[in-house]
Structure 1
Amino acid sequence: MKYAVIFKAEINQFDDEYSKMAAKMRDLAIREYDCTEFVATAEGSQEIAISYWDNLEHIKAWKQNAEHLVAQKLGQNKWYKHYTVEVVEVLRRYSSK
């Protein structure tokens, strides 16, 4: 099975620290927790990030990583007005490639 984590947020403020932390968290997910793909974009005050995973255990471990917990707290207190996270099972995937 394949899973996706969908993160949606309303942006409060972004700064240089945010950009560095976002890149670090993306690299951490891929390097240490076997995230297979991680894409994010922002438009206006909205951000969405979708990451893909092969198992739920890696998602849970990544969520509890000490550095990721710091990033989550900064997000709650500084960068985001509010956010939602959904963990979903991918049933099908289509591609033009």
Structure 2
Amino acid sequence: MTFRSRLSGDSADYEAAARRIAELAARQPGFLGMESERGEDGLGVTVCYWASRDAIDAWREHPEHLAAQEQGRSRWYADWEIDIDFIAGRP
């Protein structure tokens, strides 16, 4: 799963929330790993590795993750995009 985003001007508490979501994701069944980078221009890319499509779907619907998604849409991100690529047997 690849998540690309560009921060908006209202990102005061974004870093703390991003750390919390990363910690929460790491505890989810099927989580295999995460890599994330953000440039000085606010453009960020996060790649999350999951064991199955079911694990991805469960993470997408996790209540705290849903709340963070709403904050992202309404406050933190000027734009964002998610791509889900899953090949059975290969993360």
1:45 has 2:45 as partner:
no
Q: Which has the higher strand share?
A: 1
**Cα distance in 1 for residues equivalent to 2:87 and 2:22:** 20
**Cα distance in 1 for residues equivalent to 2:14 and 2:57:** 23
Letter in 1 for 2:20: K
Name which of 51, 62, 65 aligns with 1:65: 62
Deviations 1:43-94 (A, max 9, x none): 1121110000110111101110110010000000110011000011259x9x
Percent identity of the aligned residues?
23
Spell out structure 1 runs of 4+ moving beyond 6 A: none
1:1-97 superposed matches below 5 A: 5-13=1-9, 14-15=11-12, 17-43=13-39, 44-89=41-86
Number of residues of Structure 1 aligned to a counterpart in Structure 2: 87
Following superposition, the deviation at residue 35 of structure 1 comes to 1.3
SS in 2 for 1:36: strand
TM-score by length of 1: 0.81
Contact 1:10 1:46 in 2 (8 A): yes
